[in-house]
Amino acid sequence: MSVKAFFMKSKISKAVALKHQPVALIWSDQKPDGAVQFKERKWGCIMWLAASAARGKVAVCDRQTFGCFGGGIGMGFGDQYKNFPGGEECFCHFLSSGNDQWEQGRQTAAQVKPFLTAEAHDNFVHGERYMKSPEQVKKFIECLPITDIPTTYVAFKPLSEVDPAQEKPQVVIFFADPDQLSALVVLANYDRGDNQNVIMPYAAGCQTIGIYPYQEARAETPRAVVGLTDLSARVYIRKQLGDNLMSFAAPLSLFKEMEANVSGSFLERPTWQSLVKTK
């Protein structure tokens, strides 16, 4: 199989009966023609861009159009939490107990109210409560593999549209239901010699398809990253791709390894075939 054919047609996608196309995440200094992009400094969820690519539409973001501060971090545009309204301290309260707990937070909440939806302002004031305390959020930030990528853009493309002579995906992303996710986990461990080749970190949905796979790509033996445990991202993805999906992000080298292992594997045996028949 030629390199180009390898990218144009994924064996994994067919074998696990994916409903949506695999998505290539690509670093680039050129914006793809006709790509969907958020307006500059306007709110949006990066997962919408990934979902657009899964549905066949190229999407892109840069340092002015990453949608939200967590998304800026997730895509590798440095530590954007420092730019959150009120600074990192307000973000730590936002993700946990809320900004009505301290004076600077209350003042910032009043300042940003005209620019937020009612729901967003309520979350800013009372907190999303995803972590117990601001102190725990600080530890969360310290543990993130925050990255500053060397290119202007991050593009999301349907894998079938990637030209390997011109583009090198950093990550390949699958949107999978529980059966399909199970198969991807088995395949990621199929030829590794150990059984811990998939991780599921606590992070935003975009961070589990961006900076965590970036970190794995730098490892001697890269692992896949399961995501969409982010409840807010799940709400957004439901509107784009439907229910009961998780993300599975594989650094390019692992994706190639998994592709090479489809033939002759469990994916051709009766147990998996019996599950495929229900799709």
**Rounded distance, CA 135 to CA 75, Å?**
24
Please check whether residues 94 and 163 belong to one and the same domain. Answer: no
In a domain, 172, yes or no: yes
Please check whether residues 136 and 152 belong to one and the same domain. Answer: no
In a domain, 240, yes or no: yes
Please check whether residues 139 and 152 belong to one and the same domain. Answer: no
In a domain, 167, yes or no: yes
Q: Above 60 in pLDDT, residue 4?
A: no
- Nearest alpha carbon to residue 136 among 105, 100, 91: 91
Q: Above 50 in pLDDT, residue 6?
A: no
At 1 the pLDDT is 39
Domain carrying residue 250: 3-67+148-276
Please check whether residues 118 and 222 belong to one and the same domain. Answer: no
Please check whether residues 39 and 163 belong to one and the same domain. Answer: yes
Residue 86 token pair: 């009120």
What is the number of domains present in the chain?
2
Using the CB atoms, write b or e for 81-120: b if 16+ within 10 Å. beebbbebbbbbbbbbbbbeebeebeebbeebeeebeeee
At 41 the pLDDT is 82
At 9 the pLDDT is 73
The DSSP output letter for 77 is B
Burial class (CB in 10 A: 0-12, 13-18, 19+), 167: middle
Last residue of a domain, one of 87, 115, 143: 143
The DSSP output letter for 268 is G
CB 35 within 8 A of CB 60: yes
Please check whether residues 271 and 171 belong to one and the same domain. Answer: yes
Please check whether residues 102 and 203 belong to one and the same domain. Answer: no
Please check whether residues 112 and 248 belong to one and the same domain. Answer: no
At 279 the pLDDT is 72
CA distances from 20 to 150, 171, 172 (A): 29, 16, 13
Please check whether residues 40 and 163 belong to one and the same domain. Answer: yes
Please check whether residues 118 and 241 belong to one and the same domain. Answer: no
In a domain, 158, yes or no: yes
- Nearest alpha carbon to residue 232 among 127, 87, 89, 133: 127
Phi, psi of 158 (to 5 degrees): -55, 135
In a domain, 73, yes or no: no
**Rounded distance, CA 176 to CA 183, Å?**
9
Last residue of a domain, one of 96, 120, 143: 143
pLDDT tens per residue across span 58-98: 999 999 999 999 999 999 999 999 999 999 999 999 999 99
Please check whether residues 186 and 265 belong to one and the same domain. Answer: yes
**Rounded distance, CA 184 to CA 259, Å?**
11
Please check whether residues 97 and 7 belong to one and the same domain. Answer: no
In a domain, 74, yes or no: no
- The pTM of this model reads 0.94
